[in-house]
Chain A
Amino acid sequence: MSLAQIREHARGRLERLGNAVTSHVWRLGFASRFLFYTMLHSGTALRRFRLTVAEIYFAGVLSLIIIMVSGLFVGMVLALQGYDTLQRFGASESLGVLVALSLVRELGPVVAGLLFASRAGSAITAEIGLMKATEQISAMEMMAVDPIARVVAPRFWGGVISMPLLAALFSALGIFGGYLVGVQLIGVDAGAFWSQMQAAVDLRNDILNGVIKSVVFGVAVTWIAVFEGYDAVPTAEGVSRATTRTVVTSSLAILALDFVLTALMFTGGKSA
């Protein structure tokens, strides 16, 4: 390969890299404008709240089974693993604290967020994408009805409202699962389990921070889901790709945001 060919090859690669970066930045800008526009046209979703309630049912109520069952099992596993470690240090009475803090601060919002992205986020993207592919979105525009106000905003708010409630239920069922295994199965003292948990879990530093995380994840997942659906190429393949992108992007977003939020909230042993 001559020097000129190598130079040409390198230039081609650099150009492709540049194009990829530009297109990603452009897409991020487009998604931000889309979010702004959704906020701006949320009046209908909030005024005619039954539209949003229908989406809370679709995104929230229909996700209840998977969230509750997962929460229960995560809590039960936490209790098993936690007890095994704590009893080595003679601290098995603190099992309730370990289970509650792990769930409320971290696992509740994160795992519920990941499940929400797979269950509800993908469904929102597929639904909006298919509405676009079958010209339902165009039909709405032709009827002088803004699809962002009528289709996107209710789904966005439905998701944002559902997510913290699902995360709270996940944590609650997880703590119950921890109780079943820790107290009922292993035999940790029930009084110590509950009272240490009550003493150690702080409303503001632990619970409120966990709720803030779940709200942020709810916004991120639902924003990604509605945007990917609305931006999907209106074909079977395009909708399938958009659905996959929703799950992958929102899962990565949850993990990255979780790191940032945890760093802001809980670093250095001092809670924010």
Chain B
Amino acid sequence: MVQIQNVAFGYDAARPVLRDVSLSIARGSVVGIMGQSGCGKTTLLRIIAAQYLPGSGTARVLGEATSELDRDALYRMRRRMGMLFQFGALFTDMSVYENVAFPLREHTALPEDLIHDLVMLKLEAVGLRGAAQLMPAELSGGMARRVALARSIALDPRLILYDEPFTGLDPISFGVIVRLIRELNDSLGATSIIVTHDVQEALGVVDYVYFMAAGRVIAEGTPDEIRASREPFVRQFVNGELDGPVPFHYPAPDYAAELELAGG
């Protein structure tokens, strides 16, 4: 479904964000891409979404190399793809109903009563049929995320991408999103990729995990394999330890020198 081969990418030549990343994601699976903030996982997701093109290497998504697509082919591919943004990215000038109806109205010529039924079907799937007439400003963070999820599955995508779907959610909303990701993936027969740093929670929902650090994949495996990993970075990350390969301090000049204590 997604093949990334030796992909490197940088916003400018001096600062590579991804270095020689390779991974393969099988149809029907829920895959997590994990790592600390700034490790390149969101950039990798944007390469899969063809928002960025790889600097070198190839990204094949839904059977097509993203760097070879023109605008029309890219938009054709994206119609088979759904993406849930970190904070939902709902259109604030439209109601919940109109947000979910948006992709249907843009890409189909369905009659209004059929659009109504489809929107209600999607909202029912995320448990928010009763909120159809609310505006995004009236929703809690968790509800907004669920509406965005309903919108991203409006066209029954083959591939669903989740960018930090758990950030800022209360435990109940969190549990709901975790369950929805799994259920929707299985009922739609889709493939899901979750980019997150909420490791413990994500390990409960994914089939396979890629661990990233400093722009590289440093570990991969099933959730059980990751929990049992002896890789120091993975252990530090999974257990949330303060000490380990990731230093507590951001690189800085000598502390004593900074406080002008050197030499007494």
Residues of A within 8 A of B (CB): 131, 134-136, 138-139, 141-146, 150
Contact = CB atoms under 8 A, between A and B. Distances in A.
Given A144-B76, A144-B78, A144-B79, A138 B106 contact: no
Contacts of B151: 143
Nearest to A149: B106
Contacts of B79: 144
Contact of A142 (B78, B92, B107): B78
A131 B92 CA distance: 8
A136 B89 contact: yes
Contacts of A131: 91
B106 A145 contact: yes
A150 to B, nearest CB: 7
Given A144-B107, A150-B106, A139 B75 contact: no
B89 A135 contact: yes
A141 B75 CA distance: 8
B21 to A, nearest CB: 21
Contacts of A134: 87, 89, 92
30 contacts: A131-B91, A134-B87, A135-B85, A135-B86, A135-B87, A136-B90, A136-B91, A136-B92, A138-B51, A139-B85, A139-B89, A139-B91, A139-B148, A141-B51, A141-B78, A142-B49, A142-B51, A142-B81, A143-B78, A143-B102, A143-B151, A144-B74, A144-B75, A144-B76, A144-B79, A144-B106, A144-B107, A145-B106, A146-B75, A150-B106
Interface of B: 49, 51, 74-76, 78-79, 81-83, 85-87, 89-92, 102-103, 106-107, 148, 151
Nearest to B91: A136
Contacts of B85: 135, 138-139
Contacts of B49: 142
Given A134-B92, A136-B92, A143 B87 contact: no
Please name the 9 residue pairs, one residue from A and one from B, whose CB atoms are nearest each other, closest first.
Answer: A139-B89, A144-B75, A135-B89, A144-B78, A142-B83, A144-B79, A135-B85, A143-B103, A145-B106
B12 to A, nearest CB: 16
Contacts of B103: 143, 145
Contacts of A145: 102-103, 106-107
A99 B131 CA distance: 55
B75 A138 contact: no
Contacts of B90: 136
B191 to A, nearest CB: 16
A138 B76 contact: no
Contacts of A150: 106
Nearest to B106: A145
Nearest to B80: A144
Contacts of B92: 134, 136
Contacts of A146: 75
Contacts of A138: 51, 85, 89
Contacts of B76: 144
A155 to B, nearest CB: 12
A131 B86 CA distance: 14
A237 B24 CA distance: 40
A211 B30 CA distance: 60
Contacts of A136: 89-92
B206 to A, nearest CB: 21
B166 to A, nearest CB: 17
B165 to A, nearest CB: 14
Nearest to A44: B106
